[in-house]
Amino acid sequence: MARTPAGTPHDPRGAERFNEERAAYTVSSAKPDLEAGVAAIREVVKTLKPVPGVYRMLDARGEALYVGKARSLKARVANYTQIKALTNRLQRMVSQTRSMEIVTTNSEAEALLLEAQLIKRYRPPFNVLLRDDKSFPFILLRADHAFPRIQKHRGARRAKGDYYGPFASAGSVNTTINALQKLFLLRSCNETFFKNRDRPCLLYQIKRCSAPCVGRISTDGYASLVREAKDFLGGKSGQVQQDLEKQMAQAAQDLDFETAAILRDRLRAATFIQGSQAINASGVGDADVFALANRNGQIGIQSFFIRGSQNWGHRAIFPSHTREIEDAQVLADVILQFYEEVPPPPTVLVDRVLPETELIEAALSELAGRKVQLSVPQRGDRRKLMQQAARNAVEALERRLAERGTQAKLNRELAEFLELDGPPDRIEVYDNSHIQ
């Protein structure tokens, strides 16, 4: 059956009813039927070979119910015909399955990556899903100009230059760029603005730019600032601060107090960046940290982003469709989807052993183009960092559950006010201001 775009039916009371909790259609002409699902899967099994690949379970509409990967497609898909060995969740999935789509791959690691891509694309109701699809911001230090620009960047990394991140939010990127401009006096203006200056802009006056646009700094001098910025962002912040202290002392000794004052302000900016690190990540290097909390089947995952032993932010993740799935599998699924958008660091720290750890490492290494290691820290700074992430995961989940409780109470009160049979499952708002 040809695929049709997902969407809400025109009339929710018609033949097709949209179930928000399962995020799937139940079509009246194709009610769940376990025998029909098994029969459809058996027909597909006859055509399969014992090779790695990805499979999609499709309902009567051709919509994806589930995306899975396998080392041996024939053996894995055949398992779904053994009904008594399946969990209730998988039995529900099979009962809605009417056809399948298969893609073979060269390796199981390649299948794992493709699985994550397809889950993000189709958002099947029986897969663990990341709720937050918002891309992460990076700092970009461009390399396509004699006087490179520092800027915030989201999306595909097509521009030539060095990318630093991810950061948890645009706010954290903006704050860091402002401090870096004070520290290294790098320009942030676009090319048109740069070319049309005949005098320094306000950023030069407030000591956040070296005004290369009007020749207030040489190409070599600016290149030196760029190297320092790269060292700082690359984890050599201590060395950069020591160099600034030496330069400031030398300027004071030479009675060049204006230069000494500029260096003092730059040193303060460096200290500000270091002091704003709410999480102590000394000795961690480049790593992401993931810790999971579970409260009655509700999952919260706290992530920390550490680069050059500096905390570049954190984000709480609340995946959906996690019931009846082991916590370690939920965390593994989230990590694979997460790195579809963000390049993985050399080390990914997790709070528990994940299933198929070696396979996940191979898949992430293929994404990064270098070796990536999964690790459960047992001692030292990394262990302390993991404990902090675990505490944050619990607190973030408790806040979310409390917020949900408040929303549920508001929905009940709304139902009473409007004299509804029960709390509303969804509320839609339409703007008709353009209609005459």
The 8-class DSSP code of residue 50 comes to: S
Which residue did the predictor score with more confidence, 244 or 18?
244
List, edge to edge, every strand of the sheet that includes 64-70: 64-70, 53-58, 99-104
Pair 265, 293 in one domain: no
Q: What is the mean pLDDT of residues 391-396?
A: 90
Per the domain annotation, does 402 fall within a domain?
Answer: no
Q: What are residue 306's phi and psi, to 5 degrees?
A: -115, 125
| Partners of 19 in beta bridges | 24
Summarize pLDDT for 347-356 with one digit per residue, the tens.
999 999 999 9
In this prediction, residue 227 has a pLDDT band, given cuts at 50, 70 and 90, of confident
Pair 187, 100 in one domain: no
Q: Look up tokens 């520290």; give the residue.
A: 183
Burial environment of residue 337 by CB neighbours within 10 A (0 to 12, 13 to 18, 19 or more): buried
Which residue did the predictor score with more confidence, 95 or 312?
95
Summarize pLDDT for 12-48 with one digit per residue, the tens.
333 333 333 333 333 333 567 899 999 999 999 999 9
pLDDT at 131: 66
Q: Which of 18-27, 138-147, 377-386 has the lowest mean pLDDT?
A: 18-27
One DSSP character per residue, 75-123 reads HHHHGGG-GGGS-HHHHHHHHH--EEEEEE-SSHHHHHHHHHHHHHHH-
Pair 296, 343 in one domain: yes
The answer to whether the CB of 268 falls within 8 A of the CB of 275 is: no
List, edge to edge, every strand of the sheet that includes 150-153: 150-153, 138-142, 161-164
Give the chain's domain count.
3
Pair 144, 262 in one domain: yes
Euclidean distance between the first and the last CA atom of the chain, given in angstroms as a whole number = 40
Pair 240, 170 in one domain: yes
**Secondary structure (H, E, C), 348-413:** EEECCCCCCHHHHHHHHHHHHCCCCEEECCCCHHHHHHHHHHHHHHHHHHHHHHHHHHHHHHHHHH
Tell me the two tokens of residue 207. 């000591």
pLDDT at 117: 87
Pair 111, 145 in one domain: no
Q: Report the alpha-carbon distance of residue 173 to residue 126 in Å, rounded.
A: 35
In this prediction, residue 408 has a pLDDT band, given cuts at 50, 70 and 90, of confident
Pair 98, 157 in one domain: no
In this prediction, residue 282 has a pLDDT band, given cuts at 50, 70 and 90, of low
In this prediction, residue 133 has a pLDDT band, given cuts at 50, 70 and 90, of low
Q: Which residues contact 17 (CB under 8 A, 6 or more apart)?
A: 9, 25, 26, 28
Pair 23, 114 in one domain: yes
| Partners of 64 in beta bridges | 58
Q: Which of 115-119, 300-304, 314-318, 422-426 has the lowest mean pLDDT?
A: 422-426
Per the domain annotation, does 413 fall within a domain?
Answer: no
pLDDT at 12: 36
Per the domain annotation, does 10 fall within a domain?
Answer: no
